[in-house]
Structure 1
Amino acid sequence: MSIEGSMPAAYAPRHIGVALVTASAILWSSAGYFTRAVPLDIAALLFWRGLFGALASLAFILALEGRNTWRSFRAMGWIGLGFCLLSSLGMACFVASLRLTSVAHVSIIYATVPFVGAGLAWLVMRERASVAVLVASFFAVAGVALTVAGGSAQGSLIGDVLALAMTILVAAFVVMRRRFPDVPLVPAACLSALVPALISAPLMSSWPTDGREVAMLVAFGVSNMGLALVCFTIGAKFIPAAQTALIGALETPLAPLWVWLAFGEAPGMAALAGGGMVLLAVIGSMVWEGRASTAKGC
């Protein structure tokens, strides 16, 4: 029995999905801290993060599948490879953007993923976004525009564009996860951690210099890539795409917080104002949707 097949989406409690996706958002919010804490080039960060993340994911699969591990990889098929491609590209853009622009810019741009996901879900599955999501989208986009336009001294255009590309890619694989709930994608998550490492290996120009940096890279890969991606991949199967993306946006206030506490990289006024608009839009949409679901008896 496969990792995900043992928990059919139709019967799995929704709170399991909510807990797992929340855990992934908290783990992913630490990326800015690690990219600041380890003074290596982007290619080296991608390599070590991907390598240790893939090993952590593989250990998880081996623990649950045992001798059926290879079969679980084969079962993911072309859908799994597509998920792997989207995830790999998204994570590469994510790490690169954290080095090229401020953590606040990356987090706030990423916070629009619920609304990008809602648009893609309508295009792919004809799922209509609610009025609450549409209203929240307007305020979220306004918040992003305020952040990028008013805080240009803190960020960079290339970094912001990479953050936007990452946002679109994440929304795409959230929708793909919901579109194909029966395809086992945890093995694909393992491969999506390994691919950036293999691509980045020839481009590395620096290596860890002491045990502390090695420990930080292990923690970065295991927590931020391995555990986070496994939690997200499993949890996203059990809750709607819009809700998955909304919970993921909780990373927005956390990512700049860790960097500010550790390195004193305080967000500017434009980032604070824009981030506040995005965060209020996300929370307001979540509360509205939660009340609507309760009223319908969901």
Structure 2
Amino acid sequence: MTQTAISQPSATPQVSPNAERLGALLVFLSALCWSFGGAIARFVEMQDSWAVIFWRSAWAAAFLIGFMLWRDGGRGTLRLFASMGLPGLAVALCFASASTAFVVALSYTTVANILLMQAGVPLFAALLAWVLFRERVSGPTWIAIAAVIFGVAIMVSESLGGNVSPIGDGLALLIAVMFSIATVITRRFAHVRMTPATCLGTIFAALFAYSQAEALAVSPRDMGFLFAFGVLNLGVGLAFFATGARMVPAAVAALLGTFEPILGPIWVWLSHGEVPSTRTIVGGAVVFIALLVHIGLEFKRQSRPAKPGVTGVPSPH
């Protein structure tokens, strides 16, 4: 085991206010890209979900490889894969596990239960970052996390009745934990470029889906939507996340990611005419307002002039 594979910073990474704002924007854009997933998936007519996962993951991997080749060149791309070490491999396994667990969980539990578990991602990420790396979480961030969990609970409360599957809900919890771990690792090992790690995760998911799919033949129409599903929804979203999550605290990155389950029903409503329920609208409004208030407070904090003797780099929160 090489030293570079296990080395880590001695302290929580610190970045300038401008870099933190850019990171927050990129993480938000990743959630925006991912939020279109449900709307795009409704246009795909093929029934084999494993084939859908294969093509989505394959197109995402192709995009990410092309993106790195364009940005870093052939040798640079190889160096990125070689230098990501254990942190990159861990992130790849987290994304592959989360995407696979999502599909399997849908066979056992409702989407509402999965969304409720995903609302815990900011809390899990904040706790992991604090316990493992002592990355302090500010009071406003804790309040925003609580508001997000409360809002999503309202959204899914009317669908929580009925049969509860320990396997399905356990897999839904696994999705939230895996994404939280990936967020914390990406932030903690900010010196490691995680784009190749997310690419490797899509390759892992594609290979596993290939082993489970009955057939991979798709119509030209479906292939067009699968291209959008893989490139625009998954690939671009992963590229934004891998770049932006390095610049913001893990709890804030996970909090911004909550825009995905909030915006997702809106795109399905606009494109497929599925009107959200009253509780979905109320809960979504609670989450949306909490996120906007928190982001506004963060930007206001960062815009304050540094105190005398302070370098101008904000303390981790």
Counterpart residue number, 1:119? 127
Deviations 1:90-117 (Å, cap 9, x if unpaired)? 2223455578767666556534422322
Counterpart residue number, 2:210? 201
Change (3 A) 1:58 1:235: same
Deviations 1:3-26 (Å, cap 9, x if unpaired)? xxxxx9857733432332222111
TM-score by length of 2: 0.80
Q: 2:94 aligns with which of 86, 93, 96?
A: 86
- Post-superposition shift, 1:34? 2.1
Counterpart residue number, 1:142? 150
Alignment of 1:18 with 2:27, yes or no, is no
Q: Distance in 2 between matches of 1:161 and 1:184?
A: 31
Q: Distance in 2 between matches of 1:219 and 1:35?
A: 10
Q: 1:261 aligns with which of 259, 270, 274?
A: 270
The farther-off stretch of 61-70 and 99-108 is: 99-108
Name the count of aligned residue pairs.
291
The farther-off stretch of 150-159 and 33-42 is: 150-159
The farther-off stretch of 43-52 and 115-124 is: 115-124
Deviations 1:145-203 (Å, cap 9, x if unpaired)? 33443223799766665444322221211110111111222111111111111001121
Q: Distance in 2 between matches of 1:72 and 1:140?
A: 35
Amino acid at match of 1:27: C
Change (3 A) 1:221 1:98: farther
Alignment of 1:61 with 2:55, yes or no, is no
Alignment of 1:221 with 2:197, yes or no, is no
Counterpart residue number, 1:284? 293
Please say if residues 121 and 179 of structure 2, whose CA atoms lie closer than 8 Å, have aligned partners that are also in contact: yes
User: Percent sequence identity over matched residues?
Assistant: 34
Q: Distance in 1 between matches of 2:296 and 2:250?
A: 16
Q: Distance in 2 between matches of 1:48 and 1:119?
A: 35
The farther-off stretch of 23-32 and 142-151 is: 142-151
- Post-superposition shift, 1:291? 2.9
Alignment of 1:74 with 2:78, yes or no, is no
Q: Distance in 1 between matches of 2:15 and 2:173?
A: 33
Please say if residues 118 and 172 of structure 2, whose CA atoms lie closer than 8 Å, have aligned partners that are also in contact: yes
Q: Distance in 2 between matches of 1:29 and 1:60?
A: 21
Q: Distance in 2 between matches of 1:247 and 1:54?
A: 24
Amino acid at match of 2:250: A
Change (3 A) 1:147 1:160: farther
RMSD of the TM alignment (CA)?
Answer: 2.9
SS state at 2:247 partner: coil
TM-score by length of 1: 0.85
Q: Distance in 2 between matches of 1:125 and 1:172?
A: 12
Change (3 A) 1:52 1:267: same
Q: Distance in 2 between matches of 1:101 and 1:264?
A: 24
Please say if residues 115 and 152 of structure 2, whose CA atoms lie closer than 8 Å, have aligned partners that are also in contact: no
Q: 1:176 aligns with which of 179, 185, 197?
A: 185
The farther-off stretch of 144-153 and 27-36 is: 144-153
Q: Distance in 2 between matches of 1:144 and 1:292?
A: 27
Please say if residues 112 and 156 of structure 2, whose CA atoms lie closer than 8 Å, have aligned partners that are also in contact: no
Alignment of 1:31 with 2:37, yes or no, is yes
SS state at 1:266 partner: coil
Unaligned runs of 5+ in 1: 1-7
SS state at 2:29 partner: helix
Change (3 A) 1:253 1:142: closer
Please say if residues 104 and 256 of structure 1, whose CA atoms lie closer than 8 Å, have aligned partners that are also in contact: no
- Post-superposition shift, 1:38? 0.9
Q: Distance in 1 between matches of 2:69 and 2:232?
A: 18
Change (3 A) 1:225 1:100: farther
Q: Distance in 2 between matches of 1:148 and 1:13?
A: 35
Please say if residues 141 and 252 of structure 2, whose CA atoms lie closer than 8 Å, have aligned partners that are also in contact: no
